[in-house]
Amino acid sequence: MAFEAKSVPHPPEPGEPVSATVLINRLLDDATALVRNEVALVKAEVTQSINTLKLTVRSMAAGTVVLAAGMLTLVAAAVLGLAEVVAPWLAALIVGAALAIVGFALIQAAKRNLVSANLSLERTGQSLRKDAAVAARRT
């Protein structure tokens, strides 16, 4: 695409009338520049937000790995501690069964919440129907 040079009219002298065409061209140029600047601002803000989100997700992932390692160590400590009282195999069985029961209960509670949650986009649907109705009335 070739670059086309626009002839820029000289600024009018004070008191000199300006034609409507010149004023409309200036208005269109200013509006175009404004839209371009707003789009550039949105792009910059979205890029910054995405970069911040990436860093946050990485930190959370690292924290999750460390947390999981700590929890597994605590489970091993519980088994070893209980092994002082009962046979080691029984200690592992008791701790494992207790964790399985807690995990099962958490999953069941989450499933109940998911089933009872209203996941439909009712407000968005209502808003779109309202906008369609307004647009239909205007046309």
DSSP labels, 47-90: HHHHHHHHHHHHHHHHHHHHHHHHHHHHHHHHHHHHHTTS-HHH
Mean pLDDT for the chain overall: 86
Q: Which of 41, 58, 85 is the last residue of a domain?
A: 85
pLDDT digits (tens, 9 = 90+) for 86-135: 999 999 999 999 999 999 999 999 988 887 766 666 777 787 788 788 77
Do 22 and 46 lie in one domain? The reply is yes
d(CA 67, CA 69): 5
In a domain, 44, yes or no: yes
- The arithmetic mean of pLDDT across residues 17-22, rounded, is 84
In a domain, 3, yes or no: no
In a domain, 65, yes or no: yes
In a domain, 5, yes or no: no
In a domain, 7, yes or no: no
pTM of the model: 0.52
Q: Which of 85, 105, 130 is the last residue of a domain?
A: 85
